[in-house]
Structure 1
C-alpha cells in the first residue's frame, strides 16, 4: 500500500511540477546564481512547484452509458417475455398486455428509436421500471390473487385490477412515445429555423 502511494506520488502533478522547478534550481546552481546555498534554492523551488501544481483530479466513476443500460433492459425484456408466455390470461387482458409489450419492444429494438430513447434518462428509467417491476409485479399479483378468488368466489375479479393496471401502463408508454416524437419534431423545427436564419 505504501509502495503504491509512493509510486502514485512520483507520477503526480505535484512531483512533476516540483521536479521541473527543482531542475530550474540546478540550472541556476550551474550558472553560479544560487551560490553556496544551492541546496536550499533547489529544495525551495521544488517545494514551490509542488505547492502551485494543480491538485490531482479523482477518476470519474465508470457508469454504463445509456446504450449499455438499454442492452441490459433489452436482455431483461427477453426474460420477461419468456415469463409472460407461460402465464394464462383472459383474452381481453392478454390483448392489453400484448399492446404494451409491443410498444416496449418497438422502443427497445436496436436502431434510431432506441438511440433517441437513450438520450432521455427519464424515459430509460420508465422503460426499465415497466420491464423489471411494473409488468411482472402486476401479472404475478394477478396469478396469486386469482387462486385466492377461486377459493373464495364472489369478490371483485382479479382481472379487473390487472386490466386497469395494464391500461395505466399503456397510457404511460404512449405518453413516452409522444414525448420522444415531440423531441424529434422540435429538433426538426430547430434545424429548419437554423437553415432559414442562414439565408438572412
Structure 2
C-alpha cells in the first residue's frame, strides 16, 4: 500500500514537472548562473514546477457502450418472451402486446439503436414496465375473482401496454426520420459533387 502511494507520487504530474524545473536549476548551477545559493534555486524551481503542473485527473468510468447494453438486453427480451407465453391474457391486451413485441424486436436488431436515451427506454420497457404490467394484471385478476365488483384489471393492462407501445414507436419514428435525413443529405452531396445537370 505504502509502495503504491510512493510510486503514484513519483509518477504524478506535479513531481514530474517539478523535477524538470529542478533539472533546469541544476543546469543553471553548472553554467555558473545560480551562484552559492544554487540549492535554493533548484528547490525553488522544483516548487514552482510542482505548483504550475496541471492537477491529477482520475480516469473516467468505463461504462458499456449502447451496443454492449443492447446485447445483454436481447437476452433479457428472450427471457421476457418465454415468461409471456405462460400468461393468459385477454384478446385486446394480447393483441396490443403482440404489436409492442414486434416493435421492440425490430429495435433490438443490431445496428439500429445507438442513442443512450433510446437504449434506456427499451431497457426499462423490457426489464421493468412490461413484466410489471403483466404481473400486476395477473395478481389483480385473481383478487377480482375473489372480490368482484372492482374495475376490470384488463382495462389497466390495455392502457399500460398502449403507453409502452407509444414510447417504443416514438423511437422507431425518430430512427426513421434520422435515416430519411441521412438519405436526403447523401442525395444532395451526390448532386452537388456531380455538378449541374444538363437541361
TM-score by shorter chain over 0.5 = yes
Q: Which 5+ residue runs of structure 2 have no aligned equivalent?
A: none
TM-score by length of 2: 0.87
Which residue number corresponds to residue 40 of structure 2?
40
Offset at residue 2 of structure 1 (A)? 4.3
Which residue number corresponds to residue 106 of structure 1?
106
Which residue number corresponds to residue 127 of structure 1?
122
Does 2:185 match 1:190? Answer: yes
Offset at residue 183 of structure 1 (A)? 1.3
- CA deviation string 1:33-69 (max 9, x = no partner): 2222221121111111112212222211222211122
The 2-side partners of 1:159 and 1:166 are apart by: 10
The 2-side partners of 1:167 and 1:13 are apart by: 56
Tell me how many residue pairs correspond in the alignment.
195
Offset at residue 196 of structure 1 (A)? 4.2
Q: Give the match's secondary structure for 1:56.
A: coil
Does 2:140 match 1:145? Answer: yes
TM-score by length of 1: 0.87
Which residue number corresponds to residue 170 of structure 1?
165
Offset at residue 92 of structure 1 (A)? 3.4
Does 2:61 match 1:66? Answer: no
Report the RMSD for the aligned CA atoms in angstroms: 2.0
Does 2:85 match 1:57? Answer: no
The 2-side partners of 1:195 and 1:8 are apart by: 54
Q: Which 5+ residue runs of structure 1 have no aligned equivalent?
A: none
